[in-house]
A and B are shown apart, each in its own frame.
Chain A
Amino acid sequence: MSVIQVERKPLSFLERTYLPQIVSGLTTTLKHMLAPNVTLEYPEQRPEISKDYRGVPTLVKDPNGREKCVSCQLCEFVCPPKAIRITPCEIPEDSPDAHVERAPKTFDIDMLRCIYCGLCQEVCPEEAIWLQKQYSMVGFTRAEMVNDKERLYELGGTLPDDHFKWDKKKAAEEAAAHGGLH
């Protein structure tokens, strides 16, 4: 038998008057009334954001101040709601970053389209685009809700880099050129 019939206890007289229950209910509400409030008063008090929070996508620079994005446009292609628009450009020969492949000329993320899925961060081979702690995006116009490149770097700031991929590549090339096999 999977069903167990439980004998229901008859209510005592006091229970039938309902009064002890009312009194205990009143005590509970009084305790809650005297207890401190749990409300976070938002604009003054901010919630603590976890480091793994997926907020607004931002662009980051490496510790040397170089923009990491090489404008490969993988994020643009992977973005499900097509929120990202990139115009790539070549880096001029005389730039100190000339050894890097390319850079974005413009980089716009339309925050009215973005669904905060994080695929752009996941797909980025340069670890240049990060969903960080910024959770509040507001604006009075549609145009204000489009983050341009400048704003994206302002939001993103600098993140530590474990690889310095392009610097290593340049060093390797230089080493090859100097003591090389040729």
Chain B
Amino acid sequence: MDPSRYFDLPLWLRLCLQSGAVIAVLFPMAAACSMAERKISAWIQGRPGPNRTMPPFLAWIPIFAPIMQKLGLFQLAADGGKFVFKEDPIPGHVNKLYFVLAPILSMIPALTTIAVVPFGAYFNQAGELVPVILANVDVGLLAVFAVSSLGVYSIILAGWASNSKYPFLGGVRASAQLISYELSMTLSVLPVFLWVNAPGGNGTLSLFDVVQSQSQPGLWGGMWFVFLMPLSAFVFLVALFAETNRQPFDMPESESDLVGGFHTEYGAFKWSLFFVAEYCHMIVGSAVFVLLFLGGWNPLPWMPLSSVANWLGWVDHPALLGALAIVLFMGKVVFFIFFFMWVRWTLPRFRYDQVMKIGWQKLLPLSIGNLVFYAIAIAVLERR
């Protein structure tokens, strides 16, 4: 069957299929991240990591089964099964409604933000590059920021509903940290959009248009924004670590001083939902970073996807080109997830006062200065 026949399906069916596919990829990917985390921590510490679990009824398969076993993927399935089937304790002293609500709320923003993130692009019949995206809206990045910040409410809710000291402290820290780093994060991406939105054109915050402006011909056009605005990229990355509550900024959890932080009272499936949500945030955060600063699905700087499509002659094969773009994009995202883990097992956690100091006294002035510099520089360049 010709894969291009897919586009003959009605739009609503395609959107349903696509949403299903996105969730079917994102959710297991977030779960697989937990195994990746264990494996990477093990390799960094000179251990093999989980490599034993093997369901007996699959052991006869020659090459596939041993590889899955070595990668610990059966362990992942076993852990997931355990989370579903083990007893789900609700302590007596909690506020039951909010206690149950918190992990559910944590999943909603985590899975919602993915809707405005493009994963790839292909040429349609009219020869225009169109994104592979669930909702191609102009508010793109704003929607990501607005919805992903809601994720912290689940942590605050969990901390408050747990009705005990450590989760409460974790929730308070989470909110303080979010406010501190949201500012620098938003300010750090403004120069990108100052550059993308040329005067006279239609203003946009769409992530697809950001990638498009990194795919133009010429020295400036093909340059990824990480080269053009390294400081923005740096501030965004640091703020991203803080926003996703990853080491060295995992203040809300910080198991060495807060027992388990916001999830101290949680167990079983509810606990695992928090972590799936955290990994979803990581995936979406990495995706946004790749789109903003690393040229999205363009394989190399100054080598956009469209020229690759021309070389391969895949301009008329939207399904093939879309798949290639998704693979390129996901490759970068996976690298960033690896980077998150790599940093986690390298750096010690910051103290809480250090986190606040870095956020307010270092990153915020830095991002404001960065914004002013690029505003002036872009104004000068545009006038010329």
Which A residues form the contact surface with B (CB < 8 A)? 22, 25-26, 28-30, 32-33, 35-39, 41
Contact = CB atoms under 8 A, between A and B. Distances in A.
B47 A37 contact: yes
B43 interface: yes
Interface string B16-27: 000000000000
Contacts of A39: 46-48
B48 A37 contact: yes
Nearest to A26: B346
Interface in B342-376: 342-343, 345-347
Interface string B40-68: 10011111100000000000000000000
A33 B346 CA distance: 11
Nearest to B344: A29
B343 A33 contact: no
17 contacts: A22-B343, A25-B347, A26-B346, A28-B346, A29-B44, A29-B342, A29-B345, A29-B346, A32-B43, A32-B44, A32-B45, A33-B43, A33-B342, A35-B46, A37-B43, A37-B46, A41-B48
Contacts of B342: 26, 29-30, 33
Contacts of B48: 37, 39, 41
Nearest to A24: B346
Contacts of B345: 29
Contacts of B46: 32, 35-39
Contacts of A33: 40, 43-44, 342
A22 B346 contact: yes
Contacts of A30: 342
- Determine which residue in B43, B48, B346, B347 has the highest number of CB atoms from chain A within 10 A of its CB, and name it: B346
A26 B347 CA distance: 8
B346 A25 contact: yes
Contact size class for B? 10 to 19
Given A29-B44, A33-B40, 20 more contacts: A22-B343, A22-B346, A22-B347, A25-B347, A26-B342, A26-B343, A29-B342, A29-B346, A30-B342, A32-B44, A33-B44, A33-B342, A35-B46, A36-B46, A37-B43, A37-B46, A37-B48, A38-B46, A39-B46, A39-B48
A25 to B, nearest CB: 5
A39 B45 CA distance: 10
A112 B199 CA distance: 84
A79 B137 CA distance: 82
B65 to A, nearest CB: 17
Contacts of B44: 29, 32-33
A36 to B, nearest CB: 8
Nearest to A43: B52
A33 B45 CA distance: 7
A145 B45 CA distance: 36
A41 to B, nearest CB: 7
- Determine which residue in A35, A38, A39 has the highest number of CB atoms from chain B within 10 A of its CB, and name it: A39
Contacts of A28: 346
B365 to A, nearest CB: 14
A38 B47 CA distance: 6
A35 B44 CA distance: 9
A108 B43 CA distance: 46
A57 B167 CA distance: 52
Contacts of A38: 46-47
A179 B46 CA distance: 73
Nearest to A36: B46
A130 to B, nearest CB: 35
Contacts of A25: 346-347
A37 B342 CA distance: 17
Nearest to B46: A38
A37 B40 CA distance: 12
Nearest to B234: A19
A42 to B, nearest CB: 11
A39 B51 CA distance: 12
A35 B48 CA distance: 11
